Structure 1
Amino acid sequence: MIAVRSSRRLQRWLVGIMAMVLAFLLAPAGLARAADVPIPVPPNSGTGLTDKGAGVVSAADRDFVIKVRLAGLWEIPAGNMAVEKSEDERVVNIGRSISAQHVTLDKLDIAVAKKLGIALPNEPNRDQEGWLNEMRNASTAQQFDQVYVDRLRAAHGKIFPAIATIRASTRNDSVRKLAQAANQFVMTHMTLLESSGIVDYGSLPTAPAPVAPGSGPVPVDNQMLAAAEENGIPGVSTSVILLVLAGALVAGVITTMRIFRTR
């Protein structure tokens, strides 16, 4: 009788230990990825970015500086219209924020253009005028909101990859710093527009299919693989290792319990 009670106590003890070990092994794995890894935010200072106008200015650089100016020429009045015409407080605040931020970005752009001798337009282009006319001619506040949000979200989606290309490739320090600022503004504006809850994602253009799948803009080389494997067994993920350890623990407990039952 005493042996049976001891065996049951041991079984309960082993089950409890197994539960604690499983909780230790498995729970932190997911939590660490969600909570312990900070979201990277570009710093406002100490980036090493200069603004001396130094470096060759390419045709793509000039086109980029002009496009930043054009963006402000229609998004500032569009935002002002949102404040006046929308009946949705979310859209009113989005329009006010984007308009004000483009005023700031426009000043940065004008300063860079002056430094580099780039002539800037003073009126929106034909497409942008057409979008502004759509907003002016909207018959209801709800129709205005949809046009405003969809046109701006689509425009930001088109300029976003262009900014990334210039930020990564330009040889001119002033253009590089402008691209850094523009990238952060555009990310903020896309997020603001999406917070309206009315973006028609189905109407946005899709990304082109890769010419050679797996060899796109993020190549995997030996250096990247080595960095990925520093904290684990090469070719084996942490999750797989934890599952194997948990399985081995369960098997060990079951075997131990069977041994005590046969005694």
Structure 2
Amino acid sequence: NPQLLDDNSSLYAIWSENNGTANQIRVKLFDNTTSWNLVDKIGDNTTGINKDTSKNAINPKLLNFNSGIYAAWSEDNGTASQIRVARYNSSSSWIFVDGNGSTGINKATDKNATDPSMAVLSTKLYLAWSETNADNRTQIRVKSYDGSSWSFVDGDNSTKGINKDYTQNASYPQLVKVTDNSSSSKLYAVWLEENGNTQVRVAEFNGTSSWIFKDGDSFDGLNLNTAKISGKPSATAYLNKLIVAWSETNSLGVPQIRIAKSPF
């Protein structure tokens, strides 16, 4: 699951790679000719940017925030998978900005958290992920980072995140900033959520701690046929609109690629 990031004409790649012991988060920088150079050292560690290189780390993401490169990923700590976040200091080293302890920024550090997604809105970095709650239902959790501390912006409830129905599983969140013609920016979350089938859900951040559904705000989501199964969504901003794509089975059971733009 590699990802590329263009940062002021510097091209970075991040991925998860097994070294024979565990999956490591690796990062390289392109030299603008033919070579890629490793830039994933933390202290004396040369195996990757994992907090614990003996544990598996997956789902890495890269994003520029406040003139710095930030990486987020999911890493096992022996109890549960944690959302870890580190900042690149431009000298091949990374500094953890998630507390730098044995746990990450999870709502419940004894519950599994996966699939981080990042976006920047105004002066804050936002990070969404899927995390299991005490009822064994996965919730979409969201936090903001102001450069020094993290705050929940999903209601900060121990049981539910921003799911349409917190009794149902939600997964694969995507965060996207969309700027309209007046240069006003909005933050959207897109994810998959079960309701008997799997629905593509879309919500807009209100700027404080609430999310407003933009997918019809009903039992079903964006699916063309809400009785059919949908696959992992992808979302981006294009011409001042939110564009969402997903895989959805048709009446013959054949997956089709569906694409919708805001307003839905």
For this structure pair, what is the TM-score category when the shorter chain's length is used for normalisation? under 0.3
Q: Report which structure shows greater RCO (CA 8 Å, sep ≥6).
A: 1
Structure number with higher helix proportion? 1
Structure number with higher strand proportion? 2
* Larger Rg belongs to: 1
Question: TM-score normalized by structure 1?
Answer: 0.19
Question: TM-score normalized by structure 2?
Answer: 0.19
